[in-house]
């Protein structure tokens, strides 16, 4: 068995902390020989920010970066090519003037941001997903690949930015939304399920033995792909539709409740 869990809204409580019960369930699963893999839209800094909770494999940037935490090794990076970055930026700007972009680069520890982007990011989001921010021109942003692009607008809510990107179906990218102040885009073939499939190959795990938990639109592919999947009670309707089962909300320690039941049934 492999348990794949989203972080924000799933494993983490609403204040982005780890509850004692969720931590105990994680440790019990690992002691039973079950792999527990965090699969998050956060960048590498956001995973590190919660502390050394997870000890082996992890996926960040919606699957674009695979990590082996035991040696702090990067297993894979799957960036959007520069020409696709440019096409996405230009198309979104043509349809929604005023949009601003941020690009996660290198191992996602650096965010290349346009001037004004950071001012639109709520402080708690910046704190929970820290990175080195480097202000760049749009030409500089479009001249290199991106592990993940983040898109925001001064007056249009992120869910509407995401909906627009979905309608436009811009070639070469997969767009999603994790419920925060920005919409996100990865390479067309990159999502949490694709990244998790790579980890399963490393571990020799079959997808039928994967149990996935999530709450966001960026969890949809993972929830559909896993052998068994749970949407949290606080989940986005898209995640609820994609999942097989329901779990209590993140503020009710839904992750722990599911894991405790799984371990008891082994």
CATH number of the domain to which 123 belongs: 3.30.1240.10
Contacts of 127 (CB under 8 A, 6+ apart): 49
* Structural domain count, the chain: 2
pLDDT per residue rounded down to tens, the chain (266 residues) = 999 999 999 999 999 999 999 999 999 999 999 999 999 999 999 999 999 999 999 999 999 999 999 998 999 999 999 999 999 999 999 999 999 999 999 999 999 999 999 999 999 999 999 999 999 999 999 999 999 999 999 999 999 999 999 999 999 999 999 999 999 999 999 999 999 999 999 999 999 999 999 999 999 999 999 999 999 999 999 999 999 999 999 999 999 999 999 999 98
Q: Tell me, yes or no, whether 179 and 160 share the same domain.
A: yes
| Owning domain of residue 148 | 82-187
3-state secondary structure of 193: helix
**pTM, rounded to two decimals:** 0.96
Structure-token pair, residue 203: 């571990």
Q: Tell me, yes or no, whether 169 and 96 share the same domain.
A: yes
The residue from 136, 165, 187 where one domain ends is: 187
Q: Tell me, yes or no, whether 206 and 174 share the same domain.
A: no
- CATH number, domain containing residue 223: 3.40.50.1000
Neighbours of 83 (CB within 10 A): 12
CA angle, residues 76, 78, 80, in degrees to nearest 5: 160
Closest CA to 173 of 95, 60, 42, 62: 62
CA 61 to chain centre: 5
The residue from 157, 187, 217 where one domain ends is: 187
- Report the sign of the C-alpha dihedral through residues 147, 152, 157, 163, in that order: negative
């Amino acid at each position: 068995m492999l348990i794949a869990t989203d972080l924000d809204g799933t494993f983490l409580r609403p204040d982005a902390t780890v509850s004692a019960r969720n931590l105990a369930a994680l440790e019990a699963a690992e002691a039973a020989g079950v792999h527990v893999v965090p699969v998050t839209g956060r960048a590498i800094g956001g995973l590190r920010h919660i502390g050394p909770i997870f000890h082996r494999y992890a996926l960040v940037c919606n699957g674009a970066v695979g990590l082996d935490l035991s040696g702090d090794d990067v297993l894979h990076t799957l960036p959007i090519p520069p020409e696709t970055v440019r096409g996405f930026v230009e198309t979104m700007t043509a349809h929604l003037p005023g949009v601003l972009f941020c690009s996660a680069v290198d191992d996602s520890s650096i965010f290349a941001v346009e001037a004004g982007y950071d001012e639109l990011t709520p402080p708690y989001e910046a704190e929970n997903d820290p990175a080195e921010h480097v202000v760049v021109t749009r030409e500089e942003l479009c001249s290199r690949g991106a592990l993940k692009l983040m898109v925001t607008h001064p007056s249009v809510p992120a869910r509407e930015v995401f909906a627009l990107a979905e309608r436009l179906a811009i070639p070469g990218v997969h767009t999603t939304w994790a419920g925060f102040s920005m919409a996100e885009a990865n390479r067309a073939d990159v999502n949490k399920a694709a990244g998790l499939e790579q980890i399963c190959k490393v571990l020799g795990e079959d997808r039928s033995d994967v149990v996935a938990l999530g709450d966001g639109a960026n969890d949809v592919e993972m929830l559909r792909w896993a052998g068994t999947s749970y949407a949290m009670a606080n989940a986005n309707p898209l995640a609820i539709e994609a999942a097989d089962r329901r779990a209590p909300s993140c503020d009710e320690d839904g992750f722990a409740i599911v894991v405790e039941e799984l371990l008891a049934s082994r």
